[in-house]
């Protein structure tokens, strides 16, 4: 009986981890897509790729997962560039990739 309970707990924990991972990947995809759209560049492959997972303490001192993702974009349709972002929980903590072109000032 206790073996079944342990199996159920392990299955619930695995499902919770998988669900949180999918939610983070979807959020990372939205962030990458929006950054590419704002910068006027092409988001390639229409996806993000998980690049890392580690335990980190949040601002409140509690342990949580920090997930790293990468995506690719192109400014000219020929060359590929790599963007990276890091989510701690649901919070974006690091981003490198396309940026919105600065407005040019008239001379």
Note the pLDDT tens digit of each residue in 7-18: 999 999 999 999
pLDDT tens digits for range 19-65: 999 999 999 999 999 999 999 999 999 999 999 999 998 888 889 99
Question: For the chain, how big is the Rg over CA atoms in Å?
Answer: 18
User: Do 43 and 73 form a contact (C-beta atoms < 8 A)?
Assistant: yes
| pLDDT given at position 94 | 95
Confidence of residue 101 (pLDDT cuts 50, 70, 90): low
CA dist., res. 13 & res. 7, Å (int): 10
Query: 37 CB contacts (<8 Å, ≥6 apart)?
Result: 43
CA dist., res. 88 & res. 94, Å (int): 9
Give the start-to-end residue ranges of the domains of the chain. 2-96
């Amino acid at each position: 009986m206790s073996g079944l309970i342990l199996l159920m707990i392990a299955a619930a924990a695995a499902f919770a981890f998988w669900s949180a991972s999918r939610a983070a990947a979807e959020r990372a995809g939205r962030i990458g897509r929006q950054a590419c759209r704002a910068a006027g560049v092409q988001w390639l492959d229409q996806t993000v790729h998980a690049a890392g997972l580690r335990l980190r303490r949040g601002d409140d001192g509690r342990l949580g997962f920090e997930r790293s993702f990468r995506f690719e974009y192109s400014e000219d349709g020929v060359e590929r560039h790599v963007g990276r972002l890091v989510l701690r929980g649901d919070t974006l903590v690091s981003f490198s990739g396309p940026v919105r072109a600065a407005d040019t000032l008239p001379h």
